[in-house]
Amino acid sequence: MKYRDLHLHLDGSISLTSLKELARLGSYELTESDPYLLNKLQVSPDCRNLNEYLTKFAFPLFFMQTEEQLTASVKNLLAELKALDYEYAEIRFAPQLHLTKGLTQEKVVEACIKGLKDGPVDAKLILCALRGDGNENENYETFEIAKQFLSKGVCAVDLAGAEALYSTDKYKELFKRARDLEVPFTIHAGEADGPKSIYTALEFGARRIGHGVRAFEDKALVKEIARLKIPLELCPTSNLQTCVFSDIKDYPIMQYLDAGIIATVNSDNMSVSHTDVPRELELLKKTFSLSDSDIELIQKNSVIASF
């Protein structure tokens, strides 16, 4: 079986092996033990919410601040995906988080595109704007750069970050700019925040919804997502770790498939969540006794939903 991952954060998917190479490229000596480093990369079993989950990104980001490191991080991830029998991935990251060593957002994106070239797995980049305060200019710049590199390695833009702290409706003008630029976009919504955030993302014109897993709380919304054929980028293990659900048995995958929603299954963050698409599918298969045709449908959905 060949796999696709449409919701895959680069900085959340830096393996221990890759981390060591990135440190070497930055002339930084890692003296800590492997268990210590893994603890820095992976979320703890007692994670309380999305905001706590997001703290795990600062450590790998420290080693992703030069062009060489960024190119290597993408190349290494593609090699790891190849070993897992992936055929395609859409890798997302926020260029504004890689500027501490003097790079521009444009240089960051160019370095990551270089990492895609001649890779063993077909992949594209999704550029993330970030929820927060005081970074409006950086977010607009990210979208302008996405337009510059659209179809040259970049396939879309996204809005990521602390969803419950910075509501989606604050970014209306930003996504108006994306529409004006004719850059496709997905939006993280319906994870830490409820159905309202999904409605807002749809109103903005999102082509996909990042997570969207809480749509089931509003039956009319489920019908609307199905009617509009808007894919959901589901990430089960991540949703458990951020306490959207306390038990995988409560996960609404069958509800969405039965409703005709284009539900896809993704890893979110391979290192932070310690998972990958094969593991996610196996988890759902065991929990819900999914048939081979159910798995085939999910895989087909990932083809349909790809930017």
Structure confidence by residue, pLDDT tens digits, 36-56: 999 999 998 888 787 788 888
Helix (H) or strand (E) segment spanning residue 62: helix 58-62
Q: Which pTM does this prediction carry?
A: 0.96
Domain spans in the chain, listed from the N-terminal domain onward: 3-305
The question of whether 191 is a catalytic residue gets the answer yes
Q: Which residues does the chain have with pLDDT short of 70?
A: none
Residue-wise pLDDT for 49-107, tens only, equals 877 888 889 999 999 999 999 999 999 999 999 999 999 999 999 999 999 999 999 99
**Spatial distance between the Cα atoms of 296 and 290, rounded to a whole number of angstroms:** 10
Closest CA relative to residue 59, chosen from 43, 40, 32: 40
**Spatial distance between the Cα atoms of 211 and 129, rounded to a whole number of angstroms:** 16
pLDDT for the residue 154 = 98
pLDDT for the residue 54 = 83
Strands of the sheet with 3-9, listed across from one edge: 3-9, 86-93, 122-130, 154-160
Task: Spot the catalytic one: 110, 191, 233, 280.
Answer: 191
Single-letter amino acid code for the residue at 155: C
Fold of 3-305: TIM Barrel (3.20.20)
pLDDT for the residue 50 = 75
- Exposed, middle or buried: residue 223 (CB in 10 Å: 0-12, 13-18, 19+)? middle
